[in-house]
Structure 1
Amino acid sequence: MVTIRLLLLCIATFASTHSIAFNNDTLRVASSANFAKPVEALLAEFAKQHPHRPMISVASTGVLYQQLRHGAPFDIFFAADIRRPQLLEQQGLIEEHHRKTYAIGQIALWSNTQKGPISLADLQDYKGRIAMAAPHLAPYGNAAKQVLVKRNLWRYFHQQLITGNNINQTYQQTLTGAVDYGFISYSQLLTSTQGNGVLIDNSLHTPLEQQVVVLKNAANLELARKFYQYVLSEQGQKIIADFGYLTADKATDAVPVSDQADSLPPNNGTKPATQTKKTQ
């Protein structure tokens, strides 16, 4: 009997030891949908100095926040806002001094059916449906709603919306032609090889300040800390900027919603100088 117990103890110890060894090179990343491609690029560069096995889960910020509240096993979380990271901090779920802004997001209006340049003014006479991420789940969806409200267009479209759980679903809905127009991230517009789009003026919505946190119960805490520092480093910030985001140092310069936006003429809702045109 003693021999059997000893054997079981040895097996358990062996399994536990190898499980720890397996986890030592795994970094579990929770990423808001808008940041899926940038975080892959960041992890690839980070791996050159710190070899690891990344496991990335992509969803809306709201969905990931709920998962983290209920104990989801992530090491680091890239949110699309500052509210959820702040709540996680208040709930004692993150490492002390490991909550910071890593990027300022931007949104774009995009179409895969319109053959020429588009602008926000096109929506004034448009009678069809538009796509956006669900405002209560996704900060980018909330920003899109603010744009429509500022342009006095929300009352025309709020019952004609096709909403996705995150910005990636919105991209797919617009890509397939299910709708003629969709609000996506500017990063998605830059990396898309189809359609036509335009960057939305940041003054039409609250700043999309995005924060990253390291989770207190991270299985690979040391690796998560190193990746956190890398994302905030000069090299990491350059990669983020290449994907169409404003860098973290611009956080205090982000333009708040102007009370004068309602009185702007229709074509001032866009920035023609930064318009990105893409054709099939």
Structure 2
Amino acid sequence: MRPLIGLLLLALSAWANADRIQIAVAANFAEPLREIVAQYRQLHPDIDIALTVASTGKLAAQIRHGAPYDLFLAADSRRPRELAREGLGLPDSVRSYARGLLVLWSPQSDLMLDPDMLRSGAIQPVALANPRTAPYGLAARFVLDDLAVPDSVPLVQAENVGQSYHFAHSGAAAAAFVAYSQVREQGGSLWLIPEARYPAIIQQAIQLIDSPEVSGFYQFLFSDEGRAIIINHGYQVTDAE
């Protein structure tokens, strides 16, 4: 009798989650994705969508270890392509959904953030996401190297770009390298870093399972409505694969 009950519970669990989409999303894109999800659910109230927010590298590692995500929105192009090659997603589903911009931001409104302030250590410490797992952190590392910022300038390493923002916002860091989308309406001081100083941040996504519900949401992400939200949050959109 117990095995039968176990099978029944398993079947009920599968039925309950049939219309639930699990999305792994890079920290920088959490807010625009929440808005896209809210708009999509107005059209499809029967679809439940859950988000897991972390660094791109951490999420990719979780997927490799069997995390039950249906869709992965990364902050780079490398991880989705790697997962496709490893057979962990649908290869033909890899698409670019946004191009991000890197900024140096401080909640203090009276600062003139520029390369000289970084090099001199006039503003410190500076937060950045872990370059090994977070694409925006890697871009920040390129900027620091390009500007020849000395090692004597103290840095605070965050787990992801969301935590990097939190460090500056809370005062744990004087400034932080973050995505423009995170601070476009925050006030404070901002240096929009020239894109020539770091590799292009092309954010790609991959559909991890073949499901009508997941495909429906994925198509909405690239619809005019979805792209309008992405642009409104300070990203560029591209049709490049």
Q: Report the TM-score when normalising by structure 1.
A: 0.80
Q: Name stretches of at least 5 consecutive residues in structure 2 with no aligned partner.
A: none
Match of 1:101 among 96, 99, 104: 96
Match of 1:92 among 72, 87, 90: 87
Structure 1 pair 247–130 and aligned structure 2 pair: CA distance change class (3 A):
same
Q: In the aligned structure 2, how far is the partner of 1:185 from the partner of 1:132?
A: 11
Partner residue of 1:118? Answer: 113
Q: Which digits, 9 at most, give the CA deviation of each residue in 1:42-66, with x for residues without a partner?
A: 1111112222222111000010010
> Which letter maps to 2:14?
I
Q: In the aligned structure 2, how far is the partner of 1:119 from the partner of 1:238?
A: 31
Partner residue of 2:26? Answer: 32
Q: Quick check: 2:115–2:147 contact (8 Å CA) kept in 1?
A: no
Q: In the aligned structure 1, how far is the partner of 2:34 from the partner of 2:185?
A: 14
Match of 2:227 among 233, 237, 254: 237
Report matched runs for 1:92-171 at 5 Å.
92-127=87-122, 128-153=124-149, 155-157=151-153, 160-171=154-165
What displacement does 1:154 show? Answer: 5.1
What displacement does 1:117 show? Answer: 4.6
Q: Quick check: 1:113–1:195 contact (8 Å CA) kept in 2?
A: yes
Q: Quick check: 1:109–1:120 contact (8 Å CA) kept in 2?
A: no
What displacement does 1:16 show? Answer: 3.3
Identity, in percent, stands at: 34
> Which letter maps to 1:174?
A
* Structure with greater Cα Rg: 1
Match of 1:213 among 189, 206, 220: 206
What displacement does 1:8 show? Answer: 5.3
Partner residue of 2:74? Answer: 79
What displacement does 1:156 show? Answer: 4.4
Partner residue of 1:274? Answer: none
What displacement does 1:116 show? Answer: 4.3
Deviates more, 1:221-230 or 1:179-188: 221-230
